A and B are shown apart, each in its own frame.
Chain A
């Protein structure tokens, strides 16, 4: 057996005083072999990033390693002098980060930023560096490398930037590559390309790769071995097929069970023929005045489109980032004024109503936003924010409070939540509060704009279940916006696919998935990771090992 590239022994990193637990990671032990991709999965805050940073020597100052060894090429990195570690970084070990949009310095050309690695770690001449850089740009499959070389980061798309980051990481042919959620911020199609690239590079460079992610589909796509972490500890590790298909630990099972199936799990809903929402020729054009960034621009965020949603139906709206989903929603809610078109609810055209009339019709349509942190006012108690809506529409405070208490129960939060501030709740809990708040006004239509995208899979599952439950109970009409096809498939009755402000495909879930007509839809579906992996049925597995 070959010697491991990285070997972590009994690593414990302390959290500063006052944290929610004493250790960021505790008693970690695992190896990474050359030519092997080890996926580290686990919920948010489980210590995945801390582990990567420790290996790279980039641990924030607030955190201290209290015990253990990190052996890399025979040396314990923890006892290494900072300068020596510095010489290893970028040369023998490299790292790719989650957020490609901000990972590159906006002030320098990407060529310059790649060459820096050579300047720091080699004695190449300028010309050689330039040549090697162009080779790298070719290797990560960037089109017209010459042009890219002289581009600034802001002139490149997210996927292109992530390739630059990968090129930087590969520059010196490192033995160890750490990728911390390298595709989470990218849309599916780009993600698919990056994952392909990673697989290819592993083979070519024979590097050991530590791949941090929380997405089991991605794990299924790239992993040789899998490590599952929870609250700073490893709960399970094994080969990819072992962990994915026969998870032993109950936590792993819980995680995998939460992965949305590609098939619809909600019972088919008997949609009435009554129209809840009718949208005709709706479009939205943004005009951006000239700035230093360039000339004035006109953006057709949503091109004229028609929609009909029947009462009790759930319409899923999917499409990659920037396809106009949120703009559509904002127009529907009249948070922004549509450029053209009609929005008919019960025969009233919301798009044409005056400010005053609008307030009245707002009752009918409510929304839950993506960011559970940003959609609650940190300075008002939960209860205060919940009762505000009914009060605005003339309800009595006592009634509103009573209703709020009920709804808090329904979203499975205690009544005491009423008196607390948002900062005292976790993301999932906050999202439930937002749902409860939206329901305070007894809306006919509920819009969820990426309402679960920011949540961990397990939490995501809970919230989806909750939404489904409520929808049934209250006979709600729902518009469900997401970029995750699996999620869309799971909750929707009908789907529309948007691309560049246009609806390119519409139909029932089965139609869209089973028989996509538009090439864009096909591309989207093909790009979904982990297609070869069927989520195992937990019920068929034996009892969990930790029980």
Chain B
């Protein structure tokens, strides 16, 4: 509860970053999710160390179950419908899924942030135009547009990333617009302005650092969103092209056998879920850690 007790700020410790790190160290959710994310990233980086070639098929060893369901140690997580080693595909899949998410989010972050900051900073006509663009974007049923574009250009990894990037920027724009507006109205911006700062300086030195926390938090939300979305596109057969092993594609390939060899969908499904869960928890943690900064 925020009883407005403006306690006299005591010089206590160093930079805002140092205080953030201190808060981070005592935030369990943040620590756990960071650990998971680091693990996934490591797996993605170390994918070349996978036990098998993820593309090497063996039609005589199809759908071998994983070790714990009676398979062999040769294929720890079994093989898929074309006899490819599941563990290896899963490891490469981490790479694909993460890069899809990251690239898509990078693109949308650039678009959304630019629009949001412009609208929030300049207001007036610029704001109206940006709001209109945001409205148009929101009114367009995104997933349908995505389907249309992917079915047009084919679902190469690039297309999927770009299309998602071009359609997921709305949240960045909306949130950063209001965050920028808020920061814009702060007196330190006026102060910098009367000190002769140029617009670019204001944007880069004063606005951006103060909205960076929003940016990062949304980026995590959208990252999770993009990864899930890729899975949905793959489900409809319009995601990444085979044989590229994205987790979404693996789930969608496994879905055929859901009723019989359910591990084909369960393993990548759980992997995906843990990743998305971790990203979301990470985002929540980040929000908790950075939020109080807004006050002073």
A interface vs B, CB < 8 Å?
19-20, 44-45, 49-50, 53, 60-62, 98-99, 333, 335, 359, 362-363, 365-367, 369-371, 373-381, 385, 388-389, 392-393, 420-427, 434, 437, 440-441
Contacts and interface: CB of A to CB of B under 8 A. Distances in A.
Given A420-B11, A423-B296, A389 B196 contact: yes
Contact of A377 (B10, B192, B194): B192
Given A371-B187, A379-B16, A421-B15, A335 B193 contact: yes
Contact of B194 (A61, A335, A380, A426): A335
Contacts of B186: 374-375
A426 B196 contact: no
Contacts of B3: 49, 53, 60
B194 A45 contact: no
Contacts, number: 119
17 contacts: A44-B7, A45-B6, A45-B7, A49-B5, A53-B3, A98-B4, A335-B193, A369-B191, A373-B296, A375-B191, A389-B196, A420-B11, A421-B14, A421-B15, A424-B11, A426-B10, A427-B6
A389 B205 CA distance: 13
A426 B16 contact: no
B209 A379 contact: yes
B190 interface: yes
Contacts of B192: 377, 385, 388
Given A373-B296, A423-B296, A426-B9, A388 B188 contact: no
B201 interface: yes
A388 B188 CA distance: 12
A379 B7 CA distance: 20
A420 B10 CA distance: 12
A335 B210 contact: no
B187 A369 contact: yes
Given A45-B6, A425-B11, A375 B195 contact: no
Contact of B16 (A20, A369, A378, A389): A378
Given A369-B190, A373-B296, A374-B187, A437 B11 contact: no
A491 B186 CA distance: 27
Q: How would you classify the secondary structure of chain A's contact residues: helix, strand, loop or mixed?
A: loop
Interface in B14-71: 14-16, 19
B198 interface: yes
B16 A421 contact: yes
Contacts of A363: 196
A183 to B, nearest CB: 16
B235 to A, nearest CB: 41
A374 B194 contact: no
A434 B192 CA distance: 11
Given A44-B6, A45-B7, A426-B10, 17 more contacts: A44-B8, A49-B5, A99-B4, A333-B194, A335-B194, A366-B195, A369-B187, A370-B187, A374-B188, A375-B187, A377-B209, A379-B16, A392-B196, A392-B201, A423-B16, A424-B10, A424-B13
B110 interface: no
Nearest to B7: A45
B288 interface: no
Nearest to B295: A373
Nearest to B213: A379
B6 A362 contact: no
A512 B273 CA distance: 73
A379 B193 CA distance: 17
A45 B209 contact: no
Looking at B5, B187, B201, B205, the one whose CB has the most chain A CB atoms below 10 A away is: B187
A547 B290 CA distance: 45
Nearest to B191: A375
B206 interface: yes
B190 A424 contact: no
Interface in B107-166: none
Contacts of B12: 424
Contact of B205 (A50, A380, A393, A422): A380
B199 to A, nearest CB: 9
Given A363-B196, A389-B195, A423-B296, A20 B8 contact: yes
A81 B296 CA distance: 38
Looking at B19, B188, B206, B209, the one whose CB has the most chain A CB atoms below 10 A away is: B188
A62 B7 CA distance: 15
**Nearest 7 A-B pairs (CB), nearest first?**
A389-B195, A375-B187, A392-B196, A424-B11, A379-B209, A369-B187, A377-B188
Interface string B208-227: 01100000000000000000
